[in-house]
Amino acid sequence: MFGLFVSRRLFFRYRDLAPQLVPLDYTNNPDVRLPYQLIGSMPELKDNPFRQRIAEVFSEDGEGNMSLNDFLDMFSVLSEMAPRDIKAYYAFKIYDFNNDDFICKSDLEKTLNKLTRNELSEDEVRMVCEKVLDEADLDNDGRLSLDDFQHMILRAPEFLRYNHSLYENHTVELCIGCLCFAF
């Protein structure tokens, strides 16, 4: 859970993105949203191929414009201390580009292209997509449901490692220092 310290720091982090927009006084819960351009330029996100998706998933309007709550939300999920289930859930949402609650072929292709910066040929992409569906699609409906995805992702060795090893000790600093969306 975010401690007082973290929340405050995150708040300032948020405010620093656009000091002119974000008021210091949040007692009246002003409706302030930072545009995606600002969010996506954060050092934690700017090299991430999925930054836009991340912003979209966590923003309430689905466009990537984030209120402070969304911002906190994002960091709490991406922090190393967030439980695995919740990470898997949001990972699913991130990879589900068309928001239809299934990862279908087009989603997979998008994911692959973002991940590899379009370096794979079309054939390769197609083959990988097929293999992925082949492996993880348990109900043979040609797309991955949340269940399928969780079943697969929660068994990933990286996933386990990050959730058990010493890394989980780094609470405060690293939550802010880098996005630890640990898969």
Q: How far is the CB of 170 from other proteins (least distance, A)?
A: 7
Which segment (15-23, 32-40, 148-156) binds other proteins by CB under 8 A?
Answer: 148-156
Residue 1 as a binder of other proteins (CB under 8 A): the answer is yes
Q: SS3 breakdown of the chain: % helix, strand, coil, rounded to 5?
A: 55, 0, 40
Size (the chain), residues: 183
Binding of residue 110 to other proteins (CB under 8 A): no
Q: In the range 17-36, which residues lie near other proteins by CB under 8 A?
A: 26-29
Contact between 113 and other proteins per CB under 8 A: no
Residues 6+ apart with CB under 8 A from 37: none
- 100 vs 119, beta carbon nearer other proteins: 119
CB of 99 to other proteins, least distance (A): 14
Read off the tokens for 137: 């699609």
Residue with smaller CB distance to other proteins, 104 or 152:
152
- State in angstroms the smallest separation of the CB of 143 from other proteins: 13
SS3 171: coil
Residue 6 CB burial class (10 angstroms; 0-12, 13-18, ≥19): buried
Residue number, 38 or 57, with CB nearest to other proteins: 57
Binding of other proteins by 47 (CB under 8 A): yes
Q: Which of 16, 98, 142, 161 binds other proteins (CB under 8 A)?
A: 161
Structure tokens that stand for 71 in this block: 């911002």
Asked if 95 is part of the footprint of other proteins (rule: CB under 8 A), the reply reads yes
- State which amino acid sits at residue 44: E
Structure tokens at 157: 């060795």
| 89, 146 Cβ separation under 8 angstroms | yes
Judged by CB under 8 A, which of 20, 24, 43, 122 binds other proteins?
43
